[in-house]
Amino acid sequence: MPLFDFLKEKKSKTNDVMGSEQGILVFENTSEVIRAEGILKANGWDIRVMGPPPEIRSGCDLVIEFPLVEQLRIVRTLREAKIPPLQVVPVNSPLLKPVDLFQVKDFGQYLMVRAANMKVTIDKKSLIIVNISGGGCPDVPYLATQMVGKSLTEAPSPREIGHTICGYTLQLAYEEMRRLCSL
Amino acid sequence: MLAVVGTIPDSNFPLVTEEVTLEGSFIKIRDNLVAVNRGTAALLAAAIKTFEFLNQPLPFGYLVGDIGLGQGSRRLYKLLTQELPLRDFHTIAFHYMLPYVNRQNEVLLAVEKMAHRPVLIADAGYMYVAKMSGQASKYDLFTPDIGELAFLADEEAPHPIYTRGFILHKEDKVPELISRAYANNNAARYLLVKGSTDYIANREDILATIDSPMVDAMEPIGGTGDILTGIVAALINSGIDISQAAITAARVNRLAGYYAMPTPATQVIEIIEQIPRALAEIMNTERLFETSPAKKHIEPE
């Protein structure tokens, strides 16, 4: 069975069932955004991680866009998970959307996937992560030490141990790599 | 002296400011050993290798542990704000830091209080925050890869993840992206764009391109950009002008990569070990140090 089915249809990452009334959840740090995203998606909510509007940007930021009609239940869920948002703000203008384009480079024995500024490379036969490169936030070297040398099936995901927007970007590349490997 | 500002991926690593040495595959700062695999440790290792070859003083490190939660970065921003006005560095290379726009602005104010304005290099997270803050033109050199250049070129994007799709990350678009980055004042005085072809540019023009030796396997290797920044920082600190240092560093980095005979699984320390050999060859070719008055005292190996 081929491990790399490049013709496989990409799953839609967009959410087309959201209503027109949107809000954003603002958190203390990116680590909380990543955790909240996992919890809310696991609970079946239609949410998206997006870039914050300029007036609340402080640096390396992400927010969660959600249907305002669900505010009460979503905030309650997050409180129960002990990651209540700092602010809940209605969306008045379009938000920046994270990259959903990937560059794939085949090196023969190795395969590299790049999402924006982050790259992950594996050995195609063993599925061992052989290199992680790119990025500028301090968790990138940390993620590399935790993931390089481990199999795609065993390595911790950036979502689990990353804390920044670069970690989140690496997660996108990592998910695309898993998809290409039919994992 | 060259100061290198960055983080170590260990939350228990203390805030340390001191000269940094290289011991085998570890950098050492005040009894703390850090494995050189990527990030600021790789930048420092490359700078030290370059300085050793040039018989120059060791770099001074401003290092702190941070695994992305930002506590270490915040302490380091604060220390820089307090300490830089009292220091004298020829060059400062800012590297892996969690981006905080206001804190970066405070550090720039501290730099302006220094008796002699240093050459300011920003790479990695610090390049991101320099652009986010609208202060990119206050820096002398950025060292983006193609994805990061697209981010600099996108006036709307606060991070590379938000670079809009119509600004393509394609090698043949590099000149266009450079122009766009400068048109929006989102680039440093010089750019060293690393890729299958390296570009050295300023606001006026593309000053040089370097495309050989071509080593495809360099792209996936974590830390190759860090060592390029380390080499160029060391060369600039040695008195070479920024554009020439960028050209030389790009050549040395590519040749060191070639000598390491890498695969996509190679670790960056193997390339760092080839820097002296590459420097020797490039210096012979360029006769760089015969033409640079600042280098008269240097005796190549």
Burial label, B18 (beta-carbon count in 10 A; 0-12, 13-18, 19+): middle
The SS3 of residue A128 is strand
- Give the residue, B65 or B299, on which the prediction is more confident: B65
Predicted confidence band at B161 (pLDDT cuts at 50, 70, 90)?
confident
Mean pLDDT on B130-141: 96
Tens-place pLDDT, residues B5-34: 999 999 999 999 999 999 999 999 999 999
pLDDT (0 to 100) of residue B25? 95
Joined tokens for residue B127? 């390049």
> Are A142 and B222 in contact (CB < 8 Å)?
no
Supply the mean pLDDT for chain B.
Answer: 92
pLDDT digit string (tens) for chain A, length 183 residues: 444 443 343 333 334 444 458 889 998 888 888 889 989 999 998 899 888 887 777 666 789 999 888 888 999 999 999 999 988 888 877 788 887 778 899 999 999 999 888 999 999 999 999 999 998 999 999 999 999 999 999 999 998 888 888 898 999 999 999 999 988
Domain boundaries, chain A: 22-90, 102-180
The third-level CATH classification (topology) of the domain covering A22-90 is Alpha-Beta Plaits (3.30.70)
> Are A112 and B217 in contact (CB < 8 Å)?
no
Chain B positions in Cβ-Cβ contact with residue A140 (cut-off 8 Å): 38-39, 68, 96
- Residue B36 sits at the chain A interface (C-beta within 8 Å): no
Cα(A74)–Cα(A81) distance, integer angstroms: 11
> Are A57 and B38 in contact (CB < 8 Å)?
no
- Residue A104 sits at the chain B interface (C-beta within 8 Å): no
CA atoms within 13 Å, Cβ hemisphere of A112? 24
Predicted confidence band at B296 (pLDDT cuts at 50, 70, 90)?
very low
Tell whether the model's pLDDT for residue B214 goes beyond 80: yes
> Are B220 and A98 in contact (CB < 8 Å)?
no
Tell whether the model's pLDDT for residue B147 goes beyond 50: yes
Alpha helices in A61-156 (DSSP H): 71-80, 139-147
Predicted confidence band at B294 (pLDDT cuts at 50, 70, 90)?
very low
Tell whether the model's pLDDT for residue B293 goes beyond 50: no
Range name among A156-160, B53-57, B205-209 with the lowest pLDDT average:
A156-160
The shortest CB-CB distance from A144 to any of B38, B73, B219 is to B38
Cα(B36)–Cα(B43) distance, integer angstroms: 9
Domains of chain B: 2-294 (3.40.1190.20)
Q: What is the full DSSP assignment across chain B?
A: -EEEEEEES-TTPPPEEEE-EEETTEEEETTEEEE-SSHHHHHHHHHHHHHHHHT-PPPEEEEEE-SSSSHHHHHHHHHHHHHGGG---SEEEE-S---BHHHHHHHHHHHHTSSSPPEEEE-HHHHHHHHHTT-GGG-SEE--BHHHHHHHH-TT-SSGGG--TTS---GGGHHHHHHHHHHTT-S-SEEEEBSSSEEEEESS-EEEEE--S--GGGTTSTTHHHHHHHHHHHHHHTT--HHHHHHHHHHHHHHHHHHT---TT--HHHHHTTHHHHHHHHHHHHTHHHH-GGGTT----
pLDDT (0 to 100) of residue A59? 64
- Measured in degrees and rounded to the nearest 5, phi and psi for residue B58 equal -70, 155
Mean pLDDT on B265-282: 96
Tens-place pLDDT, residues B223-257: 999 999 999 999 999 999 999 999 999 999 999 99
Tell whether the model's pLDDT for residue B288 goes beyond 60: no
> Are B99 and A168 in contact (CB < 8 Å)?
no
* Other C-beta atoms lying within 10 Å of the C-beta of residue B158: 25
Chain A positions in Cβ-Cβ contact with residue B145 (cut-off 8 Å): 117, 134
At A27, which helix (H) or strand (E)?
A: none
Chain B positions in Cβ-Cβ contact with residue A61 (cut-off 8 Å): 158-159
Share of chain B above pLDDT 90, in %: 85
- Residue A23 sits at the chain B interface (C-beta within 8 Å): no
Tell whether the model's pLDDT for residue B66 goes beyond 90: yes
Mean pLDDT on B60-75: 95
Cα(B117)–Cα(B202) distance, integer angstroms: 20
Bridge partner residues of B2 (DSSP): B91
* Cβ neighbours of residue B205 closer than 8 Å, sequence gap 6 or more: none
> Are A51 and B70 in contact (CB < 8 Å)?
no
Burial label, A54 (beta-carbon count in 10 A; 0-12, 13-18, 19+): exposed
From the list B220, B291, B215, the residue with the least C-alpha distance to B251 is: B215
* Cβ neighbours of residue A128 closer than 8 Å, sequence gap 6 or more: A122, A149, A150, A151, A152
Burial label, A94 (beta-carbon count in 10 A; 0-12, 13-18, 19+): exposed
Interface of B with A in 257-276 (CB under 8 A): 263-267
Mean pLDDT on B191-212: 96
Contact (CB, 8 A) for A51 and A95: yes
pLDDT (0 to 100) of residue B157? 87
Interface test with B, best of A96, A137, A147, A148 (most B CBs within 10 A): A137
pLDDT (0 to 100) of residue B1? 97
> Are A105 and B159 in contact (CB < 8 Å)?
no
Question: Looking at chain B, how many residues does it have?
Answer: 301
Mean pLDDT on B183-187: 97
